[in-house]
Amino acid sequence: MLSMKKFNWIIILLVFALTSVHAQQEEKVYFDVSGKKALETGAYYYRVLVSVPNVYKSYYMSGKLYFEGNISTADSENEANNKYSGTCTWYYKSEKKKVEKKYNTSGQEDGSTFYYYESGKLWKEIEYKNGSIVNGKYREYSEKGTVASIFEESFDTNINDWDMYVSNASSAKLSNGQFELKSLTKEGTSRLISIPIISDDYIIETTIDNLESNGNKVGLVWGFKDWQNYNYLAISESYFDAGIVYEGVQFAKVDGMYSAELVKRGKNTIKLFVNNEKLIITFNGVLQTKIPELKMQGNQLGYVVSGISTIKVDNLIIKELNGTAIGGTSNTDMSVKSTGSGLILSQNGYIATNYHVIENNNKIIVDVVINGETKSYDATVIQKDEQNDLAILKIKDTLFNIGEIKYAFSETGTFNVGAGVFTIGFPYALSGMGKDAKYTDGKVSAKTGYNGAINSFQTSIPVQPGNSGGPIFNDKGQLVGVLNAKFSSADNVSYAIKLNNLKSLFDLLPETPMPSNNKLETLSMEEKIKVLSTFVVLIKVK
């Protein structure tokens, strides 16, 4: 049993401990706009510990929330030295989210990071793994909803695997956030990395410091396949060249053009805009010339120096414009000449449709509904089978990921006459019926198609223009065919290409697993339609 004296001491210690915690929680540390410690009179915001051991909140001087999250190591002099953990969120003065980041226990960004405009719309979406951007690319959105994928090289680490070999002829190294490339002979040297540029519209920006070019040409090559096939831009003091080498033959589009904007021995920011089949060249923010677009021949990009020269590169940014406006009817719909339907086959954006849907296209745009929001992506034809009226497209955005494919191909690909089937598609999507996916059902009427064609089968599903290319599912929610035609002289007579023909085309794709998720079988028809509609897309052809 405790004596009264010991009991009193315990009470005193508890009160002291609670008072200390309370004082620690209420202590305010003030910072300026750059996150450095400041006096209260000149502070932009202040930070308080709200829960032991490491839950903090920061507030603008007006009292509105600025930050909330875990700071495992909180620096009182400079917030740049903080070590964060878990989910951390920063806010605008309007109290809308500004940035949301996730950190692992080591304080590295790990997971999805989101940046927002003050309007509340998404600005950037970046996926991190142990502090590095996954695949070196992230998404950027305009406030109007256009989407681009961004590759950004800061040269802090060699995550993109630049070749750093050193020899008697040349050397390359990373130092202080710069990439240094040096040639020690008259032959010159180069360093390249693989960066596939898939979109037809893109921007390349880089800053080259040519302090020791000695009048030799230094610059950039892209769309590089080999030294017989590549695009180039080279600067030499106040002059520049641009062109293409194709099958070993040089086609100069710009040859020794003078530029007053080039810094002879110093930093030059080069920016290339490719849009509407034109290449626009700018130096240090000033337009230099427009030339016909240089076609991509390969997937490599890098730097070249000629003669005994040294350059230092500060940054490299590649922005691919992957699609049109998100949500609603964009102005680009006005130039669409036809539409069809398609089915997503893989997480990374392979799509099955009819060949006649995308025949003679100049551009293909695919509308995908992700989390209730319509996003538009450029697509290209990967495989085609004109005889069976099939084509496989690929969404160009290298960051595209629809998630798990939640349906299966029919194991046998066979069915009986009278079996129930249905389709989901986009009939008359831009002509009054709207861009919501439409469900229609029917029965298998015959195991052969028009005039007894054995590559297809007949159904009683009523279809309209725009349904072409849409999937045909059986009652289990398994894919059995691709809708491709209707018989205009009779009601409710339509035809679909059999699944086996699609499988033959699908087998030609690289490293793409066959959809085999059979979980839909146990769902109601309403639930099946809801899930399957996620993978059915509107195809717009220009």
Q: For residues 179 and 156, give the distance between their C-alpha atoms in angstroms, rounded to a whole number.
A: 9
138-163 residue pLDDT tens: 888 887 767 788 999 989 888 888 99
Average pLDDT over residues 93-114: 94
Q: For residues 343 and 413, give the distance between their C-alpha atoms in angstroms, rounded to a whole number.
A: 17
Judge whether 214 and 308 are in contact, CB under 8 Å.
yes
Preceding amide of 513 cis, omega within 30: no
Confidence category of residue 372, pLDDT binned at 50, 70, 90: confident
Average pLDDT over residues 88-115: 94
Q: What is the largest CA-CA distance in the chain?
A: 105
Q: Where are the beta strands (DSSP E) in 109-214?
A: 111-116, 122-129, 132-133, 137-141, 147-153, 170-175, 178-183, 189-194, 202-212
* Per-residue pLDDT at 371: 79
* Per-residue pLDDT at 24: 45
Average pLDDT over residues 239-252: 94
Can you name the residues that pair with 88 across neighbouring β-strands? Answer: 101
* Per-residue pLDDT at 331: 44
- Amino acid at position 221, single letter: V
Can you name the residues that pair with 83 across neighbouring β-strands? Answer: 73
Residue with tokens 């249905």: 422
Whether the per-residue pLDDT at 224 is higher than 90: the answer is yes
* Per-residue pLDDT at 19: 42
* Per-residue pLDDT at 25: 46
Phi/psi for 161 (5° steps) reads: 65, 50
* Per-residue pLDDT at 378: 87
What string of H, E and C letters represents the secondary structure of 277-304?
CEEEEEECCEEEEEEECCCCCCCEEEEE
Whether the per-residue pLDDT at 325 is higher than 50: the answer is no
Whether the per-residue pLDDT at 65 is higher than 70: the answer is yes
Return the exposure string of 143-157: e unless at least 16 CB atoms fall within 10 Å of the residue's CB, then b: eebbbbbbbebebee
Whether the per-residue pLDDT at 305 is higher than 80: the answer is yes
What sign has the CA pseudo-torsion 260, 261, 263, 264?
negative
- The torsion angle over the Cα atoms of residues 13, 15, 20 and 23, rounded to 10 degrees, is -170
Q: In 3-state terms, what secondary structure has residue 199?
A: coil
Task: Report how far apart, in Å, the C-alpha atoms of 251 and of each of 21, 255, 256, 277, 294 are.
Answer: 74, 10, 13, 17, 10
Q: For residues 266 and 283, give the distance between their C-alpha atoms in angstroms, rounded to a whole number.
A: 13
Q: For residues 309 and 79, give the distance between their C-alpha atoms in angstroms, rounded to a whole number.
A: 41
pTM for this entry: 0.64
